[in-house]
Amino acid sequence: MASRSYGAYSSPPWLLSAAIYALLFGFPCSALGTIGFDFHHRYSDPVKGMLTVDDLPEKGTPHYYAAMSHRDRVNWASGSRGRGLLDQTSTPPQTQLTFSDGNETYRLNSLGYLHYANVSVGTPSVSFLVALDTGSDLFWLPCDCESCVRGLQSSSGQKIDFNIYSPNTSSSSGSVPCSNSLCPLQRQCPTPQTDCSYKVEYLDNGTSSTGVLVEDVLHLTPDATPSKSSKLVEAKITFGCGQVETGSFLNGAAPNGLFGLGMSNISVPSTLAKEGYTSNSFSMCFGEDGLGRISFGDSGGSSDHGETPFNLRSLHPTYNISITQTVVGGNSEDVEFSAIFDTGTSFTYLNDPAYSVITQNFDSLTKDLRHSSSSTSNLPFEYCYDISSNQTEVPTLDLIMKGGDYFNVTDPLVYVNLQNGGLLYCLGLVKSGNVNIIGQNFMTGYRIIFDRDRNVLGWKSSNCYTKESSNTLPIGPTDSSMVPPATAVNPEATDTGGNNNSASGSGQRNNSPRKLVLFRFRVVTAVICLMLFFTV
């Protein structure tokens, strides 16, 4: 049998030198690349094709924005861990939002999570339409259910069946014993070998997911090789086999599973990093048409993006950052406050003094006529203006983060269509009672980077995707009574390699410490990759 000797290596020396240079200064080891898939806004056409929304007001109307703000408040009052923070005067969870417009009345319950994606799990792979949530940790799927949503039916009679996970039908599935460090209820286990149970209770009364932890493979495709023939990454992860779902989960909040993206060890980003699939970082990018992208292992790739440190709590850390100044139309104000970057919230919510400082400065610099009409009383936004043919430019808005980097809000406005044919623009900022939340509307146009290795939030201007590199969820055929959203959908991989038309989008401070960290990381990566190369 032939053996490999290091001394027999006959490739020219320049090739090895080039490989080392590439590893140090350009190209990462493939094992530490990024893995991505597309996600979609709850009210984008692809998701609406599967999760039919009845009685949703027309997009862009005052009632639509009222409904979305209601959804934000319900979800923040009913979410897990860091949620349940909105003021007590907001609409209670599960309370219907009712408003009349002429002869029509809309009644809306909690409108579910904001973003959804198809993920494939098990062998053979089975796909699930899961809600994404940076405010919770556990990834769970409906599994051998005693109480869960098996399908939805719209008022028109269209039926949508969901896949249900079963460990017994997956050859790669395994149990998680109580002795596992990820087991949350170890003290309640009769023996270390007993299957680990879990129960996640949400702050909404009666909403929970209960079951056992299991292991199985999550099928993902590397971002750098988006072709259909590229090899899937089969990442072994721990997740919840949800046997009993209660409360809002039975009313459509997360009907086919929840994908937690929080900071704890049990979250998928943490698991992917621990097992060496990616670095402990991920990014989310939000396009203007409801399509976005998540990339695990994305830490920004270079020093040309803004960043600020997380304010980490010892118990249940969240993606909380500090803002030191606001700049409206070039006028800066010293106002220090902390805020949570929450990708699952539609709009941005600030309390005083930050809210008043921004809105009053914006209003004083806006030359357009401020709108005042009972027809827009349902709008959650306080500062709205009539659009005229001679409309002037609106003030810019920047947030200066702790550390000095600028976060330019690329489009802080929302546009409102009125029944009489008129058009308004509003500052997309809502007054909050006791919590500050930077919502998706302020993140649009950026890759938001959650770097958990360095405990920093980053942002880089990006168009999110190109038509050639993004897959989309199929819209269910309108003439079919059965629309299975999972079985016909492959995991959605996206190509981030060289396709982002991006600029820094932020004022930069001296980044030499970051460059040193990146250099050290690349040195370690190079050593690992060379060791792997010579041992093959």
Residues 103-114 pLDDT 10s = 444 444 445 678
Q: Of 23-32, 211-220, 253-262, which gets the smallest average pLDDT?
A: 23-32
What burial class does residue 129 get, using C-beta atoms within 10 Å of its C-beta: 0-12 exposed, 13-18 middle, 19+ buried?
buried
| Sequence-separated (6 or more) residues with CB below 8 Å from residue 289 | 44
List the structure tokens of 460. 């880089």
**pLDDT at 487 exceeding the cut of 60:** no
- Give the model's confidence band at 74: pLDDT under 50 very low, under 70 low, under 90 confident, else very high: low
pLDDT over threshold 70, residue 369: yes
What average pLDDT score do residues 359-374 get? 88
DSSP 524: H
- Number of other CB atoms surrounding residue 105 within 10 Å: 10
> What's residue 164's pLDDT?
93
Q: Is the pLDDT of residue 323 over 90?
A: yes
Pairing between strand 139-147 and 233-246? parallel
Q: What percent of the chain has pLDDT over 70?
A: 66
Q: Is pLDDT above 90 for 311?
A: yes
Residue 27 has pLDDT above 80, yes or no: no
- Considering the chain, what is the average pLDDT of its residues? 73
pLDDT class of 343 with cuts at 50, 70, 90: confident
- Whether 172 has a pLDDT exceeding 80, the answer reads yes
Task: Give the containing element (helix H, strand E) for 281.
Answer: strand 281-286
| Residue 523, both tokens | 């040195």
Write out the CATH class of domain 36-54+109-305+477-511.
mainly beta
pLDDT-wise least confident of 100-114, 233-247, 294-308: 100-114
Instruction: Give the side-chain half-sphere CA count within 13 A for 258.
Output: 32
Determine which one of 72, 204, 223, 342 is catalytic: 342
For this structure, is 398 an active site residue? no
pLDDT of residue 159: 77
Tokens 């930069």 belong to residue = 508
Least confident segment among 79-88, 185-194, 248-257, 479-488: 479-488
pLDDT of residue 62: 77
Choosing from 38, 133, 298, 398, the catalytic residue is 133
Element (H, E) at 38: strand 35-41
Q: What is the pLDDT of residue 53?
A: 56
479 given a catalytic annotation = no
Q: Which pLDDT score is estimated for 436?
A: 93
Distance CA 345, CA 436 (A): 11
* Cα 243 from Cα 257, distance rounded (Å): 11
Mean pLDDT score, 147-152: 78
Q: What is the mean pLDDT of residues 158-181?
A: 90
Average pLDDT over residues 153-167: 78
The single residue listed with the structure tokens 């971002």 is: 223
pLDDT of residue 52: 56
Strands 437-438 and 406-408, sheet pairing: unpaired
Residues 6+ apart with CB under 8 A from 283: 294, 295, 298, 300, 447, 448, 449, 450, 458
Asked if residues 177 and 194 have their Cβ atoms less than 8 Å apart, the reply is yes
Cis peptide before 491 (omega within 30 of 0): no
